[in-house]
Amino acid sequence: MLGVLMFYLGLLTFLVGIPLFVVFLALRNKKWSWVSGLILVFGFIVFISGVFSVWNKSVSLVDSADYLNPSNLTEIEKILVATKAQEITEIEQLVEHNRELRENIEENTSTLETLQNKVNDAEEDLLTLRGEMKKAEDEPIGLGAGVDYRADQDLPANSYQVVPKEGAKSRVIVKAYSGKVKVDIVIEAEGDVPSFVLKLESMDTIEVDASVDLIPLQITE
């Protein structure tokens, strides 16, 4: 209760001191101007002391069992306690929001890693489909249907004997980098053209509609 008394006494003294100080200052009465000024300072100090006293008591009540009984608090203390409680609530909300953000970051990181793994798997499948798996020197290079293969990227630029796989019939189309068709031929194991020799130059593309083997050739020019 001492803190509350100091609060009101300081406030009253401060409010009384202000007009006195202004009046005596206007009258140029130095003596009473000093007196009213001291009253003003005294009231301000008592007021601040009362505020700190009430605040400290309200904080201690927050941490004690008395806080649970509002009847033990004055109106000012109730206001201060409510303000303190609101600050605590806001801090707790910020902590919870921060926790949710961390969880979202971890979840998104995990999703990104999963997507990256799928991309890597898809790239490996594409390399396999395009026949870019490492092969022993001079072994046939198998080409699958429906894919454009580019020389010096998907397979070496070289001379090859092109043969269909397992007696299949396949159309083979070779285009230069400019798009000009260089070869358009149908080969069939039991047909008129069972195979043919192809000179694949850098950046040429080759497409087949059925699986074929490209057998590397050593041609002396």
CA dihedral (200, 162, 175, 186) in degrees, to 10, reads 160
DSSP code for 151:
B
Same domain for 53 and 9? yes
Same domain for 188 and 87? no
Range of the domain at 195: 141-217
Q: Which of 74, 105, 129 is the last residue of a domain?
A: 129
pLDDT of 53 reads 67
Q: Please, which residues have CB within 8 angstroms of residue 44's CB and are 6 or more apart in sequence?
A: 10, 14
Number of domains present in the structure of the chain: 2
**Is 17 domain-assigned?**
yes
In this predicted model, what pLDDT tens digit does every residue of 10-55 receive, in sequence order? 556 656 666 666 666 666 766 766 776 676 677 667 667 766 665 6
Query: Can you say whether the dihedral through the CA atoms of 129, 132, 136, 138 is positive or negative?
Result: positive
Q: In a 3-state reduction of DSSP, which class is residue 145?
A: coil
Q: Which two tokens stand for residue 63?
A: 């941490």
- Asked if residue 186 lies in contact with residue 132, where contact means CB atoms within 8 angstroms, the answer is no
Q: How much of the chain is in helix, strand and coil states, percent to nearest 5?
A: 55, 20, 25
Kindly state the percentage of the chain with pLDDT values over 70. 61
pLDDT of 162 reads 93
Please report which helix (H) or strand (E) contains residue 139, including its range.
none
Same domain for 113 and 14? yes
In this predicted model, what pLDDT tens digit does every residue of 144-188 receive, in sequence order? 888 899 999 999 999 999 999 876 789 999 999 999 999 999 999
Same domain for 115 and 183? no
Rg (CA), the chain: 46
Same domain for 110 and 160? no
**Is 135 domain-assigned?**
no
In this predicted model, what pLDDT tens digit does every residue of 79-130 receive, in sequence order? 777 787 888 888 888 888 888 888 888 888 877 788 888 887 777 776 655 5
- Asked if residue 165 lies in contact with residue 210, where contact means CB atoms within 8 angstroms, the answer is yes
Same domain for 111 and 149? no
The answer on pLDDT for 65 being more than 60 is: no
Sorting pLDDT into bands at 50, 70 and 90, what band is 221?
very low
* CA distances from residue 169 to 35, 95, 105, 186 in whole angstroms, order as listed: 117, 69, 54, 7
